[in-house]
Amino acid sequence: MLPFQARPSGFLVLGRAGMDLYADPPGSRAEQAGRFAAALGGSAGNIAAGLARHGLPVSLLTCVSSDSVGRFVLNELAAYGVATRLVQVLGGESRTSLAVTETRIQDTQNTLYRNNASDLLLSEEQVRAVPFRDFGALILTGTALAASPSREATFLAMERARAAGTLVVIDLDYRPYSWPSSLEASETYRAAVAASDLVIGNDDEFAVVAGGTHDDGRKLAAGLAGQKKTAVYKMGEKGSIVFDPDETFETGIFPVAAIKPMGAGDAFMASLMAAIAAGKSLRQAVLSGSAAAAMVVSRFGCAPAMPTPAELEDFLTRNSAPQD
């Protein structure tokens, strides 16, 4: 059983939030689009929006630039109901992430602008001002570990969260372009995994953490149960394996007509954690996460596609649970 305690401020999500520009109409290639539709994006921004859609209190811990893109992100977060009191607005030349992407399932182009990214300037001073005892869980995305000073600030956040009895959850979220080398990523992720209670990632990401093959990554994930941690090892169309101190089980995916490949992992995390907060079993939580992932890849956008509890319940009612 994960050591989650409901607390007044709910969830704290740490990491990147940005602006997504989707080529419009859906199906268009970016270089041929006549217009673009804007939406909240970034892995942490999407997760926070997903939790807010469940009606849960959630705050984002990050930095954004003092410009129109940063203000767009703040406005979108507020519209979803995500608290932004822990978001620092930075002057100077740093910039909030901007992604130009497509609603296409084949050969999807995703161009991400992250030169001097604002979110990677998260500071230890900013973390020290966070009242971690008010939050039931800290959810962080691995991109926050890719560079300094965000790396040191993120490790400090994990340390302070654990000291406050706050559940620490990491989505490995490995983006090779963010890291100087896979070796540095492996060493950093290993330290982060050691400081986490729940680790979620796909087979490629666990392989990076292990510094080897998929088999090595799977062995690493399985071994976390012996360290009183829980790992969700995702395998794409093959579903996922959960390694927990109390049980190990597999689950499949819900087949849907996907219109884009992005957003599934963020939706999985948000609905998984919402189910855990509601007191559901780990099996039920994984099922909810899998359903949300299927729903998001079949809808426009990432944050806008996050399901409400009613939508999720309707989907689960109409669709058979995936088989092991």
125 domain residue, yes or no: yes
At 228, the amino acid letter reads K
268 vs 110: CA distance, rounded Å: 21
Q: Residue 228 is part of a domain; what is its CATH number?
A: 3.40.1190.20
At 83, the amino acid letter reads A
What residues contact residue 257 under an 8 Å CB cut-off, 6+ apart?
298
Residue 155 in this model has a pLDDT that exceeds 70: yes
Q: How confident is the model at residue 324 (pLDDT cuts 50, 70, 90)?
A: low
Task: Give the β-pairing of 137-141 and 11-14.
Answer: parallel
323 domain residue, yes or no: no
141 domain residue, yes or no: yes
pLDDT (0 to 100) of residue 322: 81
200 domain residue, yes or no: yes
128 domain residue, yes or no: yes
Domain that holds residue 130: 11-318
84 domain residue, yes or no: yes
How far is CA 38 from each of CA 78, 113, 270, 322, rounded to the nearest angstrom? 16, 15, 21, 33
pLDDT (0 to 100) of residue 2: 85
Q: How many CA atoms lie within 13 A of 274 on its CB side?
A: 31
33 vs 302: CA distance, rounded Å: 19
At 30, list the tokens.
């970016």
At 55, the amino acid letter reads G
* pLDDT, tens digit, 9 for 90 and up, residues 80-93: 999 999 999 999 99
Strand, coil or helix: what is 58?
strand
How many domains is the chain built from? 1
pLDDT (0 to 100) of residue 323: 67
Please indicate, yes or no, whether the overall pTM of this predicted structure exceeds 0.95: yes
153 vs 151: CA distance, rounded Å: 5
At 86, list the tokens.
């822990």
pLDDT (0 to 100) of residue 321: 77
Over pLDDT 70: what percentage of the chain? 99
5 domain residue, yes or no: no
Mean pLDDT across 186-213: 98
At 301, list the tokens.
């956008």
109 domain residue, yes or no: yes
